[in-house]
Amino acid sequence: MIEAALQFALAAITLAILLCAWRLFRGPEVPDRLLAMDTLYISVVALVILLGMGWGTRLLFEAALIVALLGFVSTVALARYLSRGDVME
Amino acid sequence: MNRTSRLARAGWGAHPVLSLLVATVWLLMQESLVVPQLITAALLGLLVPRLFHRFIGPRVRLRRAGLLLRFIVLVLWDILISNLTVARIVLTPGSNPKPAWVRVPLETQNHTAIVMLATIITATPGTVSCIVDEERREILVHALDCDDPEAMAGQIKQRYEAPLKEILG
Amino acid sequence: MMTTMTMSDLPLWAEILISLMLVTGGLFVLIGAIGMVRFPDFYMRLHAPTKATTLGVGGVLLASMGYSWQTGHFGAGELLIGPFLFLTAPVSANLLAKAALHLRVPTRAEVPPDIPLD
């Protein structure tokens, strides 16, 4: 039963990532693309966790943690760049 | 002067909650509880707040800690419910939600309370706090589906701001 | 890809619970993405990621943690990722909203006129 649920979740999240990619290319505004990136990396965190579960390894959780950290920092930096024109003051 | 107060003045162990948090995070990263890791966690817990204590704001005081737990449960429940509400809006074909900007005037002047209120508003699906204006004491909220902005502002104030005010003072 | 998967004998209630959390998690991440594609203006789309993190990633993380416990592994790293995403999502949403207001991204609902946008 878990196998089936895992496959379902993997399919759903892959589809979610494709939808994010569509919004990323489609825009139309720059913040839209940034928002799509943000949602995309959150979905990737979920995907990596699920892969770790399916492959029976705990190593991938650290990969997920790094994706989460980098995703947040880059969203913050880019959003600040959009509203301030620079990242550091 | 006794030893502990001298240590506290130097910044060692001045932030016990933060020290505990750092140590816990280290142990969670290692996913082990062997003695060397416990020692490392304790050392990091002491060292990291000391290194960063210049960037840590004044200590947050809880006036009514007992209320906090009930408030957390209330917020988590609200998050669950509004998740389902927004999911229904997304999945209903041809649904046409009415977005609105909601101005929430603030009564509390406590910085921590304002930040927590803004975070809670965003964490509940369906509302995002867009501009937190501490000078004019107002939060500008975008609501995904809202017929009556004033009623929603009142609800946010009564449901979240009032308990926060009581907890943090 | 999934051929290496070995599922040990879990009690039935654990299997049901973990499967349920997997399905819920996957569904809510997907619903968040659908909302982001479907809604007509930026500020409405902004509501998508907060939803994807709370129930979506939350469900997936709980399932993974429960699974690793049931298979006799002390795994609690998910307790780091979950709260991290939960606490950072409002921060990035707020910064995205500020950037959009600054750039005067079109909105369906009128922004009140006396709000300082810069």
Residue of B nearest to A66 (CA): B29
The amino acid at B33: L
pLDDT of res. A59: 81
Q: Which of B28, B83, B130 sits opposite C51 (nearest CB)?
A: B83
Residue C4 has pLDDT above 60, yes or no: no
> What are A35-74's pLDDT values in tens digits?
999 999 999 999 999 998 888 777 888 888 999 999 999 9
Report the Cα–Cα distance between both ends of chain C, in Å, rounded. 50
Contact C46, B122 (CB under 8 A): no
Residues of C in contact with B124 (CB under 8 A): 50
Write the CATH number for A65: 1.10.287
For residues B88 and B36, state if they share a domain.
no
Residue A13 lies in a domain: yes
Q: Does B31 touch chain A (CB under 8 A)?
A: yes
Please report the sign of the dihedral spanned by the C-alpha atoms of residue A11, residue A13, residue A16, residue A22: negative
Q: Does C51 touch chain A (CB under 8 A)?
A: no
For residues B121 and B88, state if they share a domain.
yes
pLDDT of res. C118: 64
Residue A39 lies in a domain: yes
Residues of C in contact with B93 (CB under 8 A): none
Token pair for C75 = 């795994």
pLDDT of res. B163: 83
Could you give the percent of chain C with pLDDT greater than 70?
Answer: 84
Domain residue spans of chain C: 14-102
Residue A6 lies in a domain: yes
> What are C12-69's pLDDT values in tens digits?
888 888 889 999 999 999 998 998 888 888 888 888 877 777 788 888 988 888 888 7
Residue A89 lies in a domain: no
**Torsion, CA C67, CA C70, CA C72, CA C78, rounded to 10:** 40
C113 to chain A, closest Cα gap in Å:
19
Residue of C nearest to B96 (CA): C39
Residue B147 sits in which domain range? Answer: 65-168
Could you give the percent of chain B with pLDDT greater than 70?
Answer: 91
Token pair for A44 = 């990737």
For residues B21 and B82, state if they share a domain.
no
Residue C93 has pLDDT above 70, yes or no: yes
For residues B85 and B131, state if they share a domain.
yes
Total number of domains constituting chain B: 2
Total number of domains constituting chain A: 1
For residues B158 and B78, state if they share a domain.
yes
For residues B78 and B33, state if they share a domain.
no
Residue B58 lies in a domain: no
Distance CA B29, CA C39 (A): 38
> What are A11-28's pLDDT values in tens digits?
999 999 999 999 999 878
For residues B151 and B77, state if they share a domain.
yes
Residue A24 lies in a domain: yes
Residues of C in contact with A23 (CB under 8 A): 36-37, 45
User: Cα-flanking dihedrals φ and ψ of residue B117, to 5°?
Assistant: -60, -45
Residues of A in contact with C5 (CB under 8 A): 3, 6, 54-56
For residues B82 and B126, state if they share a domain.
yes
For residues B164 and B85, state if they share a domain.
yes
pLDDT of res. A11: 94
Q: Does A59 touch chain B (CB under 8 A)?
A: no
> What are B89-147's pLDDT values in tens digits?
888 888 788 888 888 888 887 788 888 888 888 888 788 888 888 778 888 888 888 88
> What are B25-41's pLDDT values in tens digits?
888 888 778 888 888 88
Residue B1 has pLDDT above 50, yes or no: no
A1 to chain B, closest Cα gap in Å:
25
Interface of A with C in 14-73 (CB under 8 A): 15-17, 19-20, 22-23, 29-32, 34-36, 38-39, 42-43, 45-46, 49-50, 52-56, 58, 61-62, 64-65, 68-69, 72
Residue A68 sits in which domain range? Answer: 2-84
Q: What is the mean pLDDT of chain B?
A: 81
